[in-house]
Amino acid sequence: MSLQETLSIQIKQAVKTTYNISLDAIEFQATRKEFPGDITVVIFPMLRFVKGNPVQIGTDIGNYLVNNVKEVKAFNVVKGFLNIEINDAFYVQFFNEINVVEYYGYVNDGGEAKAIMVEYSSPNTNKPLHLGHIRNNLLGYSVAEILKASGKKVYKTQIINDRGIHICKSMLAWKRYGNNETPENTGLKGDKLVGNYYVKFDQEYKKEVAKLIQDGNSEDDAKKQAPILLEAQNMLLKWEAGDKETVALWKMMNQWVYDGFNITYKNLGVDFDTLYYESNTYLLGKEFVAEGLKSGVFIKEEDGSVWCDLTEDGLDKKIVQRSDGTAVYMTQDIGTAIQRIKDFPDVGGMVYTVGNEQDYHFKVLFLILKKLGFEWAENLYHLSYGMVDLPSGKMKSREGTVVDADDLIDEMASTASDISEELGKLEGYSEEEKQDLYKTIGLGALKYFILKVDPKKRILFDPKESIDFQGNTGPFIQYTYARIQSIIRKADFDYSVVLNDVVLHEKEKELLKQLQLFPEVIQNAADTHSPALIANYTYDLVKEFNSFYQNVSILGADHLNEKIFRVQLSKKVALTIKNAFRLLGIDVPERM
């Protein structure tokens, strides 16, 4: 039982004993630095039930706690705030019970709780992954890991957008201008090769549009009648009709892209348990349109199109089937969600990691699924996130101005190399060890910079700013972890002894309070789908450790038991940093 839970029960008992009044909840907050105390009870909310002077009420409760609760050492009351001091023995007992091998005791108990499916990445197979995909992947992967740490069973998935006119554009450009180029004979990653032809299509399309306008066509007509676009549209029809040559080309080029994506995913440190392909799912959902018509969820217009009227729910009318009987994206998403539950019957909820430009789409999708009667639709969540901008401006795939994910990962390692060489702290490292360290620092800097920001906020990403060994950055936290490992290596005595009788230094107690928060932070991060809570908790823990390190002698302490306890404390801080960073997908180096 946590300290707050213990105190909450006892404070309610104090009020019941003293005033014969039952309280539902107790409000706690951190004690302000200028007052003695470890935790503060806010008295003001009680005044609705307990009539009297808040200082007197606080004093009555404080006296009860000191006399009846062994954890409480002393108290003071400042206006309507009861500041409670906790015995050192409580913190020492907590410390000795910490198990930081994994995630502070949050495990799936094998009960009836349903699994959660987390979708992220979901790229198009006509271009490489870029900076926007990096934020998507890092968020989705981290949220999946945090949900696991909170005790949930999790499936990681993506839906690969492997069909449509945009795919045919790359295919047609390669067919016209490719001269049988392959990843093997060019040395290019497959996704980059295909992406080059997506850019090539756009260049040729613009030339044709300009020529048509020059010949007297309107801009709208020129954009619709450009021969290369008409040919791409025809290629899509051939693909949908199962034309052997078109399908063979589609399979070949898509495989190039998948192979390229897999390299990027490995370098980024993310993975998936299951994959869905739009080419397999785009016809799903049509059967539920028919069911929705029968039940009155959908309505058919005179032209034969089918709609869902959501105006009473504050939204608008949404088409789910065109007049020619073809499905729209909404229909496909309805069908895919239902198919996932069929494939994984233990799934009771889903998280969709998709940019905030799709906020409305997911409101509609979730509402339609509820109206269709699926109970699990109550447990759908859109992990909406803001875009990532660079100092140079907005990215555009078709113009080839995106920041390629692979290039960015390499650039981060290179920047880490430059800064590390300037600092000159790598004596005794082999070249291979240096390169591994640069990658760890660079990737850690990138991931931390992106994940420390609330997902809903837009990010201006500056690679150089992210690789700083001071401040709220990944490298600063990694450096602190490496510093602790150095302390542990220098400890030339047995520090495995369990100590129960320890008088805590103020800095030790502050560090223990920070460690105590970790399980609650994991749960809050899982509930809010926010890795930023984990990131910023870790920064606060590291700041607290560095304050402890600067004010308290660890290996030079006067007494052996002090040395033992401080090394143990340092080690558990390091393990907590490692576990927290694991939830963010970030590695920590043993030396730095």
312-337 tens-digit pLDDT: 999 999 999 999 888 889 999 999 99
Over residues 408-426, the pLDDT tens digits come to 899 899 988 888 877 766 7
Distance CA 265, CA 252 (A): 20
Residue 549 has pLDDT above 60, yes or no: yes
Instruction: Calculate mean pLDDT across residues 228-257.
Output: 96
Contact 281, 332 (CB under 8 A): yes
Does 576 lie in the same domain as 454? yes
pLDDT tens digits, 79-96: 999 999 999 999 999 899
Are 332 and 280 in contact by the 8 Å Cβ rule? The answer is no
**Contacts (Cβ under 8 Å, ≥6 apart) of 140:** 118, 119, 120, 121, 156, 270, 351, 353, 383
Q: Could you read off the pLDDT of 144-158 as tens digits, one per residue?
A: 999 999 989 999 999
Say yes or no: 232 and 296 in one domain: no
What is the distance between the alpha carbons of residues 466 and 419, in angstroms, rounded to a whole number? 12
pLDDT digits (tens, 9 = 90+) for 170-228: 999 999 999 999 999 999 999 999 999 999 999 999 999 999 999 999 999 999 999 99
d(CA 531, CA 432): 31
Residues 298 and 248 in one domain: no
CATH number of the CATH domain containing 49 = 3.30.1360.70
**What DSSP character marks residue 505?**
P
Which has the closest alpha carbon to 385: 408, 364, 355, 419? 355
Residue 296 neighbours by CB under 8 Å, 6+ apart: none
CA distance 524 to 146: 10
- Read out DSSP for 288-313? HHHHHHHHTSSEE-TTS-EEEE-GGG
Strand partners, 369: none
Coil/strand/helix, residue 526: helix
User: Is 367 among the domain residues?
Assistant: no
Confidence at residue 397, expressed as pLDDT on a 0 to 100 scale: 43
Domain boundary among the residues 86, 113, 145 is at 86
In a domain, 448, yes or no: yes
Residue type, 162: D
Regarding whether 505 and 422 lie in a shared domain, the answer is yes
> Is 321 inside a domain boundary?
yes
Task: State mean pLDDT over 556-573.
Answer: 96
User: To the nearest 10°, the Cα dihedral for 550, 556, 559, 563?
Assistant: 70
pLDDT in tens, 481-502: 999 999 999 999 999 999 998 9
Domain end among 29, 58, 86: 86
Last residue of a domain, one of 326, 347, 379: 326
Split at pLDDT 50, 70, 90, the class of 112 is low
Q: Residues 77, 10: one domain?
A: yes
Contact in structure between 368 and 400 (CB atoms under 8 Å): no
Claim to verify: residue 433 and residue 301 sit in the same structural domain: no
Q: What are phi and psi of 117, to 5 degrees?
A: -105, 125
What's residue 105's pLDDT?
A: 40
Rounded Cα gap, residues 192 and 400, in angstroms: 11
3-state secondary structure of 316: coil
Which residues form the domain of 314?
286-326
Degrees to nearest 5, angle at CA 48 with 47 and 51:
50
Query: Do residues 180 and 225 share a domain?
Result: yes
Q: How many CB atoms lie within 10 A of CB 379?
A: 14
The rounded distance, in Å, linking the Cα atoms of 151 and 130 is: 32
Shared domain for 244 and 298, answered yes or no, is no
Instruction: State the alpha helices, DSSP H only, in 158-271.
Output: 165-177, 183-186, 190-214, 219-225, 227-240, 244-268
Q: In what order do the strands lie in the sheet with 72-78?
A: 28-29, 39-42, 81-86, 72-78
| Per-residue pLDDT at 374 | 96
How many structural domains compose the chain? 4
Do residues 529 and 434 both lie within one domain?
Answer: yes
Element (H, E) at 460: strand 459-460
Together in a domain, 178 and 252? yes
In this structure, the answer to whether residues 428 and 513 fall within a common structural domain is yes
The predicted-structure confidence for 287-299, as pLDDT tens digits, reads as follows 899 999 999 999 9
pLDDT at residue 392, rounded to an integer: 64
Lowest-pLDDT range, 1-5, 345-349, 353-357?
A: 1-5
pLDDT greater than 60 at residue 579: yes
Nearest to 511 by CA among 559, 470, 546: 546
Segment 364-378 shows an average pLDDT of: 96
pLDDT at 108 over 70: no
Token pair recorded at residue 216: 């007297």
| pLDDT given for residue 399 in this prediction | 47
Inside any domain, residue 457: yes
Q: What is the pLDDT of residues 379-411, one digit of tens each?
A: 999 999 998 887 765 444 444 456 889 988 998
Q: Are 118 and 147 in contact (CB under 8 A)?
A: yes
